Amino acid sequence: MKTNLLKIASLSLLLSTAALTTQAQIQVPQASPAATISQTIGLAKATVEYSRPALKGRKMFGAQVPYGKVWRTGANKITNLILSEEMLVNGQKVAAGAYGLFTIPNANEWTIILSKDANVWGAYTYNPANDVLKFSVKPQKLAKAEEFFTIEFTDFNASEANVAIRWENTLVKFSLKNDADAKIMAEIKEKTAAAEVSPATYSAAANYYYDTNRDLKQALEWASKVVEKDQKYWTYYLRGKIAAQLGQCDVAVSDAQKGLQLAKEANDDAYILNHQKLLKQCNSK
């Protein structure tokens, strides 16, 4: 009987202690909070998952983060670079996938490493045999100190962007590129040659030719097919801007006038301005 009572008392004490321990846990903000950023580049998507430590009055590069040693590029788990499709990283092909982003900081040169090891904690188990890509970049000096470790996408256009790493007084960049032109051109050729072609397909093809300064006569032909089937202020603007670029201001002015009226009725300020600019462009010639 006494044995059972002792067991019950011990179990009760254990449960009480566990309850107190659970209640004692206090959630506070992480010292190096997690962050995720993504950017569409071409037809692909690049994502960076990383943690953001703060300076807190400390000297980082060359001290807290030693020169010449492999670094996790942030805090906690290794920073990850995730590519949805094959991309050019600093000009070299890298397949779709998740990669650990290791770096080796130095005063006048940083080494950037993409590794197959995307889920390791820190750089303690870094293995050069798992490197997928390794290259060097020159660091730049920031005019103002960056308190929190920051990775962002900069200098982006339709097919390219830079991954920028900023902390303390240092900035390093490397490029990502997904040039989808060949794929887009093949799709345009296939879809515009189909037995039935939608206005949306003709519109996309005409816009792409206009944006990339290709065969504008072909682009105008496609845009005309769009207007024939769908008279909207945005379809008039599509054909008008292509016609103006070709010097066919009679077509451009007519489309701009029609489109401007429709845009005013819809109270679409952006397209009102677009058509007004088109009229001004042609009237100045």
Here the tokens at position 241 are 């801007």
Mean per-residue pLDDT over the chain, rounded: 91
My answer on whether 43 and 170 are in the same domain is: yes
Q: Say if 130 falls within a structural domain.
A: yes
Residue 264 in any domain: the answer is yes
Q: Are strands 110-115 and 131-137 parallel, antiparallel or unpaired?
A: antiparallel
Q: Are 186 and 166 part of one and the same domain?
A: no
Q: Which helix (H) or strand (E) holds 12?
A: helix 2-24
Would 45 be classed as within a structural domain? Answer: yes
pLDDT of residue 30: 75
pLDDT attached to residue 17: 52
Identify which of 166, 119, 161, 127 has the alpha carbon closest to the alpha carbon of residue 146.
166
pLDDT, position 158: 84
Residue 215: give its domain's CATH number: 1.25.40.10
pLDDT above 60 for 73: yes
Q: Which residue has the tokens 């290259």?
A: 135
pLDDT category of residue 58 using cuts at 50, 70 and 90: very high
Statement to judge: residues 43 and 167 lie in one domain: yes
Q: Give the alpha-carbon dihedral of 55, 61, 64, 69, to 10 degrees.
A: 140
Task: Kindly state whether residue 26 falls inside one of the protein's structural domains.
Answer: no
Per-residue pLDDT reduced to its tens digit, 242-255: 999 999 999 999 99
106 and 227: one domain?
no
- What is the C-alpha radius of gyration for the chain, rounded to an integer number of angstroms? 29
Which structural domain, as residue segments, surrounds residue 135? 34-177
Domain co-membership, 149 together with 254: no
Residue 95 amino acid letter: A
- Please report how the helices 233-245 and 199-211 are oriented relative to each other, as an axis angle in degrees rounded to 10: 40
Average pLDDT over residues 109-131: 94
Q: Which of 120, 155, 177 is the last residue of a domain?
A: 177
Q: Determine, yes or no, domain membership for 1.
A: no
The SS3 of residue 272 is helix
With a cut of 90, say whether residue 187 has pLDDT above it: yes
Residues 73 and 206 in one domain: no
- Same domain for 51 and 148, yes or no, is yes
SS3 94: strand
Residues 199, 222: Cα–Cα separation, whole Å: 9
Helix (H, G, I), strand (E, B) or coil at 45: strand
pLDDT at 72 over 60: yes
Summarize the confidence of residues 29-36 as an average pLDDT.
84
CA distance linking residue 148 with residue 23, whole number of Å: 32
Q: For the sheet with 140-154, list strands across it.
A: 92-94, 87-89, 160-177, 140-154
Is residue 12 situated within a structural domain? no
Let me know if residue 137 belongs to a domain: yes
Give the helix/strand (H/E) hosting 269. helix 269-283
The single residue listed with the structure tokens 């451009």 is: 252
* Residues 108 and 191 placed together within one structural domain of the fold: no
Domain boundary pick from 177, 200, 216: 177
**Residue 41 and residue 166 in one domain:** yes
Residue with tokens 């982006």: 156
Q: 77 and 199: one domain?
A: no
One domain, residues 54 and 162: yes
Residues 187 and 260 in one domain: yes
Residue 79 has phi, psi (to 5 degrees) of -60, 140
- CA distances from residue 34 to 87, 158, 206 in whole angstroms, order as listed: 25, 28, 42
Residue 6 has pLDDT above 90, yes or no: no
The residues pairing with 170 across neighbouring beta strands, listed in sequence order, are 141, 167
Evaluate if residue 8 carries a pLDDT over 70. Answer: no
Is the model more confident about 66 or about 179?
66
Domain final residue, candidates 177, 209, 236: 177
Short-list 141, 140, 165, CA closest to 152 = 165
pLDDT of 32 reads 79
Considering the domain boundaries, does residue 14 fall inside one?
no
Phi, psi of 123 (to 5 degrees): -115, 15
Please state the domain count of the chain: 2
Which has more pLDDT, 247 or 23?
247
